[in-house]
Structure 1
Amino acid sequence: MPINIPKEMPAREILDKEKIFVMDEERASTQDIRPLNILILNLMPEKEKTEVQLLRLLGNTPLQVNITFLRMETHQSKNVSKSHLEQFYQTFSDVEKYYFDGLIITGAPIEHLPFEKVNYWEELKAIMEWSKEHVTSVMHICWGAQAALFYHYGIGKFELPSKCSGVYKHKVSDHKIKLVRGFDDIFLAPHSRYTSISRKEIHDHPELILLSDGEAGPFLIISKDEKHIMITGHLEYDTDTLATEYERDIKKGLDIRVPENYFPNNNANEEPVNTWRSHSHLLFSNWLNYYVYQETPYEQDRKIKVEYPTSL
């Protein structure tokens, strides 16, 4: 899928080298098709790395995708330049009058805080409420998944005895559900978090389906109306992301374990091997195909009489 991003965006050079089909606004405007419009609320601290990770996965199916990155107005990011945010990101007030085919809400390293203590919680609630009418399908990742479960379904999180960090096995519960079409019975995925959610509360909730569970707890949850997809781990992670996080935690002096099932022989001096890449691409492809493209109205972009943001 060709993804439409600004020519100047740093992620473009990396994606070009990987032969990911990236298209700029000038070329996109010459194609007589209805592109999908995807909004990405990037809450991760190292935003440029997350941009590449998500764009790589969104650029792997046949349709054109317009990407808009969203940042919080009520939070000042410390690990990315102000100029990068101003050039490549919109705020909620910029986009709230528009309709989008899909929305991705990323994780954030703030799971130690109660949701109400997060300084942008009220703004995030407004975005999640807005998404009910303005977005066809929403994918929530890690802390974003926990926030969605709490806001939409009243399911809270709980603190783990130690950080869940590593690559874990997960089992698919129902292959008939389109999100996991083509998945192996058992697949691997990275996790990196200090909190989790209750299997029982997911099972008992009348609006939710626990689609995949495993060694690290519930992994894939989907609402029965197929509006919300919650992913408690990080299938989008690069091969070395867990290693980078481990080194960061060690430098901070944290009492942290080596990520499980990640380094060969559990030796942090050896190069990790990516064992989740194929399912990462498959998950995002299934989401875009079955829950966005096949469900969104063709006239989605004409529900209102205004243009999409100029960053698309």
Structure 2
Amino acid sequence: MPITLPRDLPAYNVLGSEGVMVMSDADATRQDIRALRIGLLNLMPMKITTETQFARLIGATPLQIDLTLIRMTEHKSRHTAPEHMESFYRTFQEVKDQKFDGLIITGSPIEHLPFEEVTYWDELREIMDWTQTNVHSTFGVCWGGMAMAWHFHKVHKHILPQKHFGCFRVQNEDPSSPYLRGFSDDCVIPVSRWTEVRRDEVEAAGMRVLLGSEETGPCLIEDKAHRAIHIFNHFEYDSDTLQKEYERDVANGTPINVPGNYYPDDDPSRAPVNHWRSHAHLLYGNWINEIYQTTPFDMSLIGTHRQVLGGPTEQL
């Protein structure tokens, strides 16, 4: 089954050319099927790149996905055309009365700021609380996951002495987790961050580390109490994303190391090799499958029952 996207969204043609099954809104309405409704709260500055990356991953499953692009209500994007935002995005205030099977909260390049100093923090706190009544499963990515861990558990975001930048190997710490079906004992994932959460604080808060590394700390954690998983690294990255970040910093004169374990022989003159694509599709496909297995068919029931993902339903 395909992912439903507006036909004139840039991701529609990009993904179609890659062989990802995409369907226009008009075609989707002719199918008598309950599509999974997934929201993407896009906090990244390059909106089109980010929405395409996530649509590629969640659109690769056998299920029909209805993707809704969401933005903060008052925050204005400086890097994406207003016409694109107006055409394809809805503000949180416009969708807050609706229910979603899943919500992805992306990262944001503001990790140096204390959470409370972020201009849209109050609305983001409202959104995170809203996920507990209007979203079946939430996926926090990088800063988005750190924000949720802070909001619900007061797990700190710690500044690193040096940026974790490159491709790092992480260990599969819970092979029985439904989110890690098909995963190898370890895998490689792109990392690009100046902050971290720490294992002892994550576990003290009652969350479980699913993927982790001694070098870069927790990678993927599960917060069962809030029907959420959080990843602090970037399976969604394109093959050249780290290269673009590196070249941008070099051009700006920003001190930056060559991303580790990314270029063959760490030589930036050679094309990087993607070692994470298969595990990226596995993780997001497993998340979508877990939603499909546990979300109520009647979407109005989302938030009216306590559903432990992978476990029995309990009425509130």
Q: TM-score, normalised by structure 1?
A: 0.94
Report the Cα distance in structure 2 between the residues aligned to 1:185 and 1:89, rounded to whole angstroms: 39
Q: How many correspondences in the alignment?
A: 302
Describe the SS at the equivalent of 1:102. strand
Describe the SS at the equivalent of 1:38. strand
For structure 2, the residue ranges without an aligned partner over 5 or more in a row are: 304-316
1:156 equivalent in structure 2: 156
TM-superposed deviation, 1:37: 0.4
TM-superposed deviation, 1:30: 1.0
Q: Is the 8 A contact 1:41 1:103 kept in 2?
A: yes
Report the Cα distance in structure 1 between the residues aligned to 2:150 and 2:259, rounded to whole angstroms: 27
TM-superposed deviation, 1:26: 1.2
Q: Is the 8 A contact 1:140 1:228 kept in 2?
A: yes
Higher relative contact order (CA 8 A, sep 6+): 1
Describe the SS at the equivalent of 1:109. coil
Describe the SS at the equivalent of 2:257. coil
Q: Which letter does structure 2 place at the counterpart of 1:237?
A: Y
Q: Is the 8 A contact 2:132 2:226 kept in 1?
A: no
Q: Is the 8 A contact 2:134 2:302 kept in 1?
A: no
Q: Is the 8 A contact 1:106 1:144 kept in 2?
A: yes
Runs of 4+ with >3 A deviation: 301-304
Describe the SS at the equivalent of 2:273. coil
* Post-superposition CA distance 1:244-281 (Å, at most 9, x none): 00111111211110111101111111100000000000
Report the Cα distance in structure 2 between the residues aligned to 1:121 and 1:186, rounded to whole angstroms: 35
1:297 equivalent in structure 2: 296
1:147 equivalent in structure 2: 147
* Post-superposition CA distance 1:183-207 (Å, at most 9, x none): 000111111111111111112222x
Q: Which letter does structure 1 place at the counterpart of 2:32?
A: D
- How large is the Cα RMSD of the aligned pairs? 1.3
1:61 equivalent in structure 2: 61
Report the Cα distance in structure 2 between the residues aligned to 1:147 and 1:224, rounded to whole angstroms: 16
Describe the SS at the equivalent of 1:11. helix
Report the Cα distance in structure 2 between the residues aligned to 1:105 and 1:299, rounded to whole angstroms: 24
2:48 equivalent in structure 1: 48
TM-superposed deviation, 1:224: 2.8
1:4 equivalent in structure 2: 4
Report the Cα distance in structure 1 between the residues aligned to 2:249 and 2:38, rounded to whole angstroms: 33
Cα gap change, 1:172/1:261 in structure 2, threshold over 3 Å: closer, same or farther? same
* Post-superposition CA distance 1:7-48 (Å, at most 9, x none): 111111111110110001111011111100000000111110
Report the Cα distance in structure 2 between the residues aligned to 1:181 and 1:302, rounded to whole angstroms: 28
Describe the SS at the equivalent of 2:297. coil
Q: State how 1:1-312 maps to structure 2 within 5 Å.
A: 1-206=1-206, 208-214=207-213, 215-225=215-225, 227-290=227-290, 292-300=291-299
Report the Cα distance in structure 2 between the residues aligned to 1:118 and 1:234, rounded to whole angstroms: 22
Q: Taking every aligned residue pair, what percent have the same amino acid on both sides?
A: 45
Worse-superposed segment, 224-233 or 49-58: 224-233
Report the Cα distance in structure 2 between the residues aligned to 1:254 and 1:195, rounded to whole angstroms: 18
Q: Is the 8 A contact 1:74 1:123 kept in 2?
A: no
Report the Cα distance in structure 1 between the residues aligned to 2:300 and 2:100, rounded to whole angstroms: 8
1:308 equivalent in structure 2: none
Describe the SS at the equivalent of 2:287. helix
Report the Cα distance in structure 2 between the residues aligned to 1:224 and 1:68, rounded to whole angstroms: 24
Report the Cα distance in structure 2 between the residues aligned to 1:85 and 1:301, rounded to whole angstroms: 28
